[in-house]
Structure 1
Amino acid sequence: MSQKPLSPQDWESLIEDFQHGGSRRHKWSSTPSLLDLALSSILKKDFPLKIQLIIFLEEFSDDFPDFDEHFLERLIDALKIIVQSPTDNLHITLSLKDQMLVSTTSIFISTIHQFNIVIIESLVEFLLILINRPNHGPDRQTRGVACECLRELERSHPCLLSDIAGHLWSCVKTSEPM
């Protein structure tokens, strides 16, 4: 059974209620799978509150009973869709891509202690794919954000990237000016 999507106005109310807390937040507890609804709304081409909803997920995702490894997998899938979509400066913007990268990384950093560390490998793999793109045009900014995300993952989980240190070193050496 498919759940009816929330309207942008409903999402604005929900975000405000979550920020306020207490009984205002509790009134949304009867809405099943807000995480799924949020991800599907973010992926809608013409949804106007994508960045606000991504930030909401970052801020409150661990407050939901259905927050689990399966959600993290779906989050990475959504990240891939957004980042790999062509930038049209209307529905898919560089700031949307950047926010999705940063918020996804932040969610992983703040919650990875709850889950098997293996789940983070798919995020690291995707960030490495982004970093290895040719360094030109709009990709330059996305590559830079992906590098920062990897740095933050390594800071929060030292030695996380130890298996790929040689590869990362070669990336750094090839990107240095001659």
Structure 2
Amino acid sequence: MFRHIDQLTSSRQTVGMPKHDHPADVEALLLDPNSQIRASRDESACGEGAWAGGAEAVDVFLPRRDRSARRVDPDGYTTVEGLSVALCRLAPIACILSPGERSHHPDGHECHSMPWLDAVTDMPIPGWEEGCEQLSEVLDRHRITLVGPHLLSQSALPHLKIDTNLGDGPHYSIFDVWFHWMD
């Protein structure tokens, strides 16, 4: 049901579609040395689209609609379990992260983890099948390809310099190239 680059399947034909719309073409884009260099400089790799944002990184948190994964702790923090989706602003790709929690306090304090490579997972996620299906439909509608841990864990070009809180340079991964940001 969803386009996932690690599976190299597509839910639509490639005739008449932009070159980067097919998962194999997206993989080629992400591994292309010139595209990696542009992305490491925080430059768009393939023009404009629904995925192209501003200078800020995009991390979408999707809790359960029925509020069943929400609890109020004795210290006043409300903690919610959900899925995080990292949307790349340099290319039409996204990755889904293992279920996690976010907490907020009425005084304005918040706690949540940053997206990182070890949290990237494949879909569907057990217990989250309906949400994964809905997510894949939205991404597909916006022509955004879901990229999984197999591709994102590959090594990036050696000697790239990436300004990021998420990576452990000097040896970066494909995830670091495309999903980097500073706090």
Relative to the length of structure 1, the TM-score reads: 0.26
* Structure ranking higher in strand proportion: 2
Greater relative CO, 1 or 2 (CA 8 Å, sep 6+) = 2
Relative to the length of structure 2, the TM-score reads: 0.25
